[in-house]
Structure 1
Amino acid sequence: MSSKVCDLSFHNYEKGVIHAGQTVTGNVIVTLEKSQKIQELILKIFGYAECRWTDGSNDDSTTYTAKETYFETQTNLIQKQTDTAKLTAGVHRLPFSFILPRSAPSSFRGNHGKVKYKAQIVLKRPFKFDSTSEFVLNVLAVVDLNTLPSVQLPVKNAFSKNFNFLLMNKGSLDVKFEIPVSGYVSGQILPIKYCLRNDSKVEIATVKIKLVKTIVYHSSFPSKRKNKEIIKVAKWVGPGVEKQANKTYETHLDIPELLPTSYTCSIIVFSYELKVSIVVTGMHTNFDFDIPIVIGTVPLNNTDETSRISATSQRFAPPSYIDQMKE
C-alpha cells in the first residue's frame, strides 16, 4: 500500500485561506494499490485556541494555560456497517461539504499561543491499525468595517503642552492630529494630518508615528493572568517645528499585510493602535498619545481616503496572511 492513503482536495480554497462563514467543499481522495476492505471512513474538522507561558524560574515558577474549542464536525464518508465495504485498487474521490462558523477567529501562531484548525481523515480497516491523516487549514476571520459605526468617523485629537524649566515658563505647544477614519484593511493608505503651533522657546525635533499590534494572551488555569506582546508593524518619522513657529504636515502610513482585529477569540486578542510621539529637544519630556485602529477584511464603502491602494502594498491585494498563520 502507498505511504499516503488519504488526501484532501478543496474546490474553493483560494490562496490557501478559508474565510469564516464560508461553505467549503472538496473531496477526500483514497488511493489504493490493491483492493481493500474498509470498515469506516471518517472526516473530522475542528478548530481551537490555546495559550501557555511560564512566569518565574526553577522551583519558583508557574505555568499558565487556557484552551477553547470553536467547533468539531464529523462526517462518515463510508458508514460503519456489519459487512465491510470493499474498495477496488485505484483512486477514489468521496465528496464532502461543511460550513465554517461565522464566528471562527483567524488562524494564528505566536510566542505564547495559537489558533489552529485541522482536518483529520480516519480510515478503519479490519485487523489493521487505523490510518490517520491530518491537514492544517488556514482560516481568516471576516471583519466588515461597514458594520462598525465607530470606525467610520473622523478622528480629531487636540492637545496642549506647557514647557517649564527651573520655574520659568518657556511657552506652550498646541498639537492637532487627524485621520479620516479609524478602520482600514491591508494594502490601504492611512492618511495623516498634524498641525504644530509652537508658541514656545523649545524646538520640536521630530514627530514619530508607529502602527503597533498588541497581542494579549489570557490564561484560565491555575488563575486568570495576562501576557502581552507589542509588535511594531509600520512607522513614519517626520519633521517637527522650530521655536515660535507653526507648521502643518500631511503624510500617510501604508497598512501592511495584517490579520484583522479579533472579536471572537477570548484567550488570544489582537488589537492595533497608532502611537504618536512628539519629540522635544532639551530637558523636556516628549509628548505621547495613542489612537485605536481597527484592521478589517472588508473596506469601508464610499470613503475616498481609504479606497486608495498604496503602490508599495499592491502585493498584499488580495492578502494571503499565510506567514502569520504558519506553524
Structure 2
Amino acid sequence: MGKLKVLEVLFSGNQDVYKPGDTIYGDVRIVVSEEKGDIRGIQIKCVGKSYTHWTETEGSGDDQRTVNYTTSHKYFKQEVTLSGAGKGEKNADRIKLPAGEHRFPFQFQIPSMSLPAPFEGQYGHVRYYVKICIDRPWKFDHHAKRLFSIFTVKDLNYEHNVLVPPSHQIEKTVCCLCCASGPIVVHGLLDKRGYVPGEHIFVSLDLQNNSSRTIVDITVKLQQTAHFTASYCGRTHHREETKKITELKLDGCEAMGSMNYDRMKMLIPPIPPCTYDNCPNIKLEYCVKIEADISGTPMDATMKHPVVIGTIPAFQHTLRDPSQAPQGIAAYAPYAGQPISVYPPAGQPGYPPTGPPGYPPTGQPAYPPAGQPGYPPAEQPGYPPAGQPGYPPAEPPGYPPAGQPAYPPAGPTTDPTAGLPPPPSYASAVGGPQEIAGKKGAFGTVMYAPQYPYYDPDTLYAAMGIPQGVPSADGGLQPPPTTTQPQSIQQPPYNPYPDEQKDE
C-alpha cells in the first residue's frame, strides 16, 4: 500500500472478550515509510450488530432478476475522530503524518445492555468490532478492523425441567414388496436437557432389531440449527443452516439382534449458547440426533432430542425458580468483577484460581511469599507482632481470619454463585480463526474466531463430584468411545455480504 506500512487496532492487554458495561482501551498504530499528506481525518468506531443477507432469483425469462434479502440490526455504534476532521467536513484542511510510527489512544464503553453472543454463519453473523479509517477524499480509504467477543449469560439453573432426562422411542417397520418384517425399536435417553461447553452429553440407547435387516451402525450427533430472517421491499424470507458440532459412532447389530449402550459420553466443544432472544434476525437451537442406519434402505430410524446450551451449568442443588430468572443486564450480576481469561487446562497459567473469593490463594500474584520482597521479615518494622491484628496466622488456607473482610461466610448464603463450579474461561470456536472478508481498501487480512465460555471438563466434574467414566459389563470403568468433530463450523473465507460494505 505504498507509504502505509502498518495500520492496526491494538487492545490493551490483547484482550478479546468483554462484558456489557466494560471499557475497551487501546491504540491505533500507524507506520508510514514517508510523509503522508492526503488525509482528511482519522476516524474510529466501535460497533455491535447482527446482519443477515442472501440473494434469490425471482421471475422468469426477460423478467428474471436477482433480489438481495438483507436485515441489519445495530446494538450500538460509537464514533470518534482521532485526528483531523470528520467525514462530513468536506472542505476541511488535509493533515500530514510524518514518516515513522504513530499511536492514537482510544477508549469505548460498551453499553450496559443484554447482548447476543458473537456468531458466524452462512447467511449472517453477529459481530462486535473496532474499526479504524484513514479518510482520503477522492481516493479509497485505508481501514483496518479488530473483532472481539461479548460475554453472555445463559444460566441453565433457571430453565424448566433442565435436569429431567428426555427420552424417546421410535418403531420402524421395513417393508419388502407386500411383506413387512418385524419392527426395529430404538429407545434413546439423555442424562438431562441442558449443558454447557466442556460438559459431556451422556447417551443411553436400547436397540431391538426384530427385522430381517442389519443395523449397520448408530450415529449420535449434536446438531446446531441457525434460523435467519431477512427482508426485501417489505417481504420477509427465512433460511436455515444445520451444522454437525460433534459426533459419536456406535456399532449396530445383525438381523433379529439387539444392542444396549449405557451412558456413552460425547464432549461439547466451545459453541455459542442459546442467547439470541434479543436478536431479531438470527436464532439458534440445538438437538441430539440419533440415527440407526438400516441396510438396504434409505429410511433410517431417526429421533431428535432438543437440548439447551448455556453458560452456567445446572445441578440439583443449584436449581432456581424459573419465574425469578434475572432479565437483561441483571443476569450479569454474578460475574461482576470477575476476570475473563482464555481457556487453558486447570493449573496452567491463566486458569482462574479457585480459592476463596476476594483473597489471592497462596502463590498467586499479590500474595508475597515469606522472605520475598514486599513481605517484611519477622520482628522488622512493618511486621506486626504475634497476636496483633494483621499478623499472619499459622493456619493453612482460609486466611484472613474468620470475621474479617473477604472471609467466606459460613452457613447459608444468598450469593448467586454459591455452590457453582469455578467460572469458565473462554476458548475459540470449533475450527479456529477464519478469514473475514473486507471491502476494497482493507489493510491486511482479518482472522477471527468467536470466543465462547468453556469449562475444563476435569475441573468441572471434580468440583461437582460427578464421575465421568463409562460403566462396563464387569462393573468397572472403560474408556469412552472416540468422538469426531468437524474441521470447522465457521463461515468460509469468502464474502457473501456484498451490500454490507456500505455500512461498515
Give the TM interval when normalised to the shorter protein.
Answer: 0.7 to 0.9
Q: Please say if residues 241 and 247 of structure 1, whose CA atoms lie closer than 8 Å, have aligned partners that are also in contact.
A: no
Q: Quick one: which amino acid aligns to residue 232 of structure 1?
A: K
1:52-93 CA-to-partner distances (Å, cap 9, x unmatched) read 22223785244222222121113466798xxxx999997555
| Other-structure match for 1:323 | 433
1:71 aligns with 2:76: yes
In the TM superposition, residue 225 of structure 1 has moved relative to its aligned partner by 0.8
In the TM superposition, residue 99 of structure 1 has moved relative to its aligned partner by 1.8
2:244 is matched with which residue: 225, 229, 232? Answer: 232
1:231-269 CA-to-partner distances (Å, cap 9, x unmatched) read 222222213345264634431222233233341322233
Matches within 5 A, 1:1-327: 3=4, 7-14=8-15, 17-21=16-20, 22-28=22-28, 42-56=43-57, 59-63=63-67, 64-75=69-80, 91-92=102-103, 94-100=105-111, 102-121=113-132, 133-140=143-150, 142-146=152-156, 148-150=158-160, 152-161=162-171, 163=173, 165=175, 170-198=181-209, 200-202=210-212, 205=215, 206-222=217-233, 223-242=235-254, 243=256, 245=258, 247-263=260-276, 264-281=278-295, 285-296=299-310, 298-302=311-315, 318-321=426-429, 323=433, 326-327=436-437
In the TM superposition, residue 148 of structure 1 has moved relative to its aligned partner by 4.3
Q: Secondary structure at the match of 2:427?
A: coil
Q: Please give the alpha-carbon distance, in whole angstroms, between the structure 1 residues aligned to 2:54 and 2:161.
A: 33
**Sequence identity of aligned pairs in percent?**
22
In the TM superposition, residue 161 of structure 1 has moved relative to its aligned partner by 1.8
Q: Quick one: which amino acid aligns to residue 72 of structure 2?
A: K
Q: Please give the alpha-carbon distance, in whole angstroms, between the structure 2 residues aligned to 1:323 and 1:100.
A: 26
In the TM superposition, residue 160 of structure 1 has moved relative to its aligned partner by 4.4
TM-score, reference length from structure 2: 0.50
Q: Quick one: which amino acid aligns to residue 70 of structure 1?
A: Y
Q: Please say if residues 204 and 241 of structure 1, whose CA atoms lie closer than 8 Å, have aligned partners that are also in contact.
A: yes
1:112-144 CA-to-partner distances (Å, cap 9, x unmatched) read 33333332346789x999986432313245143
In the TM superposition, residue 213 of structure 1 has moved relative to its aligned partner by 1.9
Where structure 2 has 5 or more consecutive residues not aligned to the other structure, the ranges are 86-94, 318-342, 349-423, 438-504
Q: Please give the alpha-carbon distance, in whole angstroms, between the structure 2 residues aligned to 1:300 and 1:60.
A: 51
1:145-195 CA-to-partner distances (Å, cap 9, x unmatched) read 335413732332132426375776754454332222233333332211112
Seen in structure 2, the aligned counterparts of structure 1 residues 295 and 30 have a Cα distance that, compared at 3 Å, is same
Q: Please give the alpha-carbon distance, in whole angstroms, between the structure 2 residues aligned to 1:213 and 1:46.
A: 26
Q: Quick one: which amino acid aligns to residue 428 of structure 2?
A: S
The structure with the larger Rg is: 2
Q: Secondary structure at the match of 2:160?
A: helix
Question: For this pair of structures, how many residues does the alignment match?
Answer: 311
Seen in structure 2, the aligned counterparts of structure 1 residues 207 and 124 have a Cα distance that, compared at 3 Å, is closer
Q: Secondary structure at the match of 2:26?
A: strand
Where structure 1 has 5 or more consecutive residues not aligned to the other structure, the ranges are none
In the TM superposition, residue 273 of structure 1 has moved relative to its aligned partner by 1.5
User: Over the residues paired in the alignment, what is the CA RMSD in angstroms?
Assistant: 4.5
Q: Please say if residues 165 and 193 of structure 2, whose CA atoms lie closer than 8 Å, have aligned partners that are also in contact.
A: yes
In the TM superposition, residue 217 of structure 1 has moved relative to its aligned partner by 2.0
Q: Please give the alpha-carbon distance, in whole angstroms, between the structure 1 residues aligned to 2:76 and 2:145.
A: 16
- Identify the structure with bigger relative contact order (alpha carbons < 8 Å, sequence gap 6+): 1
Q: Please give the alpha-carbon distance, in whole angstroms, between the structure 1 residues aligned to 2:76 and 2:126.
A: 12
Q: Please give the alpha-carbon distance, in whole angstroms, between the structure 1 residues aligned to 2:242 and 2:41.
A: 47
Seen in structure 2, the aligned counterparts of structure 1 residues 171 and 144 have a Cα distance that, compared at 3 Å, is same
Seen in structure 2, the aligned counterparts of structure 1 residues 114 and 155 have a Cα distance that, compared at 3 Å, is same
TM-score, reference length from structure 1: 0.72
Structure having the larger proportion of residues in strand: 1
